Amino acid sequence: MENEYTEALQLNDNLSLEEQSEDRENVTIVDFKMVTFSLAGKDYAIDIMQVKEIAKTGRFTYVPNTLPFVLGVYNLRGEIIPIIDLRLFFNIDVPVRKDNSVENMLIVNVGDQLFGVVVDAIDKVVGIQKSTIQPPHPLFGDINIKYIYGVVECQKHLYILLDIERIFSSRISAKDKESGIDNVYINTTVEDIVTRAAPAKAAAVPASQTEEAPVKAEAPKPEPKDSTDQDFKFIVEELKNLKKFYVTDINDSWVKSRFDQWIAERKSSGSQLQNEKDADDFLSPFWSPCNGQWWTKQYADEIYKLLPDNNAKQIVVWNPGCAKGYESYSLACILKKRYPDAKIRIYAQDVDLLNISNAPLVTIPDTYANDWYAPYITRKVTGEATFTQEIKDIIMFEYHDCTNSNSLPMVDIVFARDVLSFLPVEAQNMVVGDFDEKLKGNGIIILGAGESLGKGSNWGEKTVGSLTYFNKQ
Amino acid sequence: MRVEYINPFVETSYRVLKEVLGDAEVKRGDLYLKSTAMPVMGVAALVGLAGDVEGRVLFDMTYETALNIASKMNGEQLKDFDDLAKATISELANLITAQAVTKLHELGFKFDLTPPALFAGEKMEIAALAGQSENVEALIVPLITDFGKIEVNVAIRERA
Are A325 and A274 part of one and the same domain?
no
Give the closest of B1, B31, B160 to A400, CB-based: B1
The confidence score (pLDDT) of residue A107 equals 92
* Mean pLDDT across B104-126: 85
Q: Answer whether A145 touches B (CB < 8 Å).
A: no
> Residue A392: which residues within 8 A CB-CB, separation 6 or more?
A360
Between helices A225-243 and A252-265, what is the axis angle to 10°?
110
Give this complex's ipTM: 0.76
Give the closest of B52, B139, B160 to A409, CB-based: B160
What residues of B are in contact with residue A407 (Cβ under 8 Å)? 130-131, 157-158, 160
Q: Could you count the other beta carbons within 10 Å of the beta carbon of residue A140?
A: 14
Q: What is the dihedral of CA A238, A244, A248, A250, to 10 degrees?
A: -130
Tens-digit pLDDT profile for residues A168-208: 765 544 444 333 333 333 333 333 333 333 343 333 334 33
The confidence score (pLDDT) of residue A12 equals 47
The confidence score (pLDDT) of residue B87 equals 92
Are A57 and A80 part of one and the same domain?
yes
State the nearest Cα–Cα gap between A67 and chain B, in angstroms.
10
Q: Does a structural domain hold residue A196?
A: no
Are A5 and A56 part of one and the same domain?
no
- Among A422, A463, A462, which residue's Cα sits nearest to residue A442? A462
The percent of residues above 90 in pLDDT, for chain A, comes to 3
CATH number at residue A368: 3.40.50.150
The residues that bridge with B140 in the sheet, in sequence order, are B32, B153
The confidence score (pLDDT) of residue A139 equals 66
**Residue A321 · residue A350 · CB < 8 Å:** yes
Q: Answer whether B35 touches A (CB < 8 Å).
A: yes
State the nearest Cα–Cα gap between A308 and chain B, in angstroms.
27
Which residue in B has a C-alpha nearest to residue A396's C-alpha?
B2
Q: Does a structural domain hold residue A227?
A: yes
The confidence score (pLDDT) of residue A456 equals 58
- Strand order in A42-47's β-sheet? A121-128, A32-39, A42-47, A157-162, A148-154
| Interchain proximity A407–B158, CB inside 8 Å | yes
The confidence score (pLDDT) of residue A36 equals 92
CATH number at residue A40: 2.40.50.180
Tens-digit pLDDT profile for residues A232-269: 888 888 888 888 888 888 888 888 888 888 888 776 66
Mutate to test the interface with A, among B3, B10, B111 (most CBs of A within 10 A): B3
Q: Does a structural domain hold residue A177?
A: yes
What's the longest Cα–Cα distance across chain A? 101
Q: Of A27-31, A127-131, A211-215, where does the model show the most confidence? A: A127-131
Q: Answer whether A409 touches B (CB < 8 Å).
A: yes
The confidence score (pLDDT) of residue A211 equals 39
What residues of A are in contact with residue B154 (Cβ under 8 Å)? none
The confidence score (pLDDT) of residue A419 equals 85
Q: Does a structural domain hold residue A200?
A: no
Tens-digit pLDDT profile for residues A390-418: 888 888 888 888 877 777 888 888 888 88
The confidence score (pLDDT) of residue A160 equals 86
Q: Does a structural domain hold residue A218?
A: yes
Are A7 and A37 part of one and the same domain?
no
**Residue count (chain B):** 160
Mean pLDDT across chain A, nearest whole number? 76
| Interchain proximity A407–B130, CB inside 8 Å | yes
Are A221 and A314 part of one and the same domain?
no
Q: Of A135-149, A258-272, A344-358, where does the model show the most confidence? A: A344-358
The confidence score (pLDDT) of residue A469 equals 86
Q: Answer whether B137 touches A (CB < 8 Å).
A: yes
The confidence score (pLDDT) of residue A382 equals 81
Are A173 and A247 part of one and the same domain?
no
Are A140 and A13 part of one and the same domain?
no
What's the pTM?
Answer: 0.59
Query: Residue B38: pLDDT above 80?
Result: no
Query: Residue B58: pLDDT above 80?
Result: yes
* Mean pLDDT across B121-135: 69
* Mean pLDDT across A442-447: 87
Q: Does a structural domain hold residue A202?
A: no
3-class state of residue A106 by DSSP? strand
Alpha-carbon distances of A364 from A287, A320, A359, A378, A381, rounded to whole Å:
22, 21, 11, 10, 14
Which residue in B has a C-alpha nearest to residue A351's C-alpha?
B33
Q: How confident is the model at residue B90 (pLDDT cuts 50, 70, 90)?
A: very high
Are A321 and A461 part of one and the same domain?
yes
Q: Answer whether A193 touches B (CB < 8 Å).
A: yes
pLDDT higher for A456 or A367? A367
Residue A363: phi and psi, rounded to 5, are -120, 160
Query: Residue B62: pLDDT above 80?
Result: yes
Per mean pLDDT, which range of A180-194, A219-233, B61-75 is the poorest? Answer: A180-194
- Among B109, B110, B120, B106, which residue's Cα sits nearest to residue B46? B120
Helices marked H in A418-460 — which ranges? Answer: 425-438
Mutate to test the interface with B, among A407, A436, A437 (most CBs of B within 10 A): A407
3-class state of residue A448 by DSSP? coil
Query: Residue B151: pLDDT above 70?
Result: yes
Are A89 and A61 part of one and the same domain?
yes
| Interchain proximity B35–A401, CB inside 8 Å | yes
Q: What is the DSSP letter of A372?
A: T
Q: Does a structural domain hold residue A376?
A: yes
Tens-digit pLDDT profile for residues A58-87: 888 888 888 888 888 988 888 899 998 888
Q: Where a domain ends, among A230, A255, A283?
A: A283
| Interchain proximity B136–A359, CB inside 8 Å | no
Are A378 and A446 part of one and the same domain?
yes
Which structural domains are found in chain B, ordered by start? 3-158 (3.40.1550.10)
The confidence score (pLDDT) of residue B128 equals 67
What residues of A are in contact with residue B107 (Cβ under 8 Å)? none
Q: Answer whether A191 touches B (CB < 8 Å).
A: no
Structurally, how many domains does chain A consist of?
A: 4
Are A106 and A230 part of one and the same domain?
no
**Residue A385 · residue A364 · CB < 8 Å:** yes
Q: Answer whether B23 touches A (CB < 8 Å).
A: no
What residues of B are in contact with residue A65 (Cβ under 8 Å)? 51-52, 159
Q: Answer whether A400 touches B (CB < 8 Å).
A: yes
What residues of B are in contact with residue A399 (Cβ under 8 Å)? 1-3, 6, 33, 139
Q: Which domain holds residue A379?
A: 297-472
The confidence score (pLDDT) of residue A222 equals 44
Are A104 and A47 part of one and the same domain?
yes
| Interchain proximity A398–B132, CB inside 8 Å | no
Q: Does a structural domain hold residue A192?
A: no
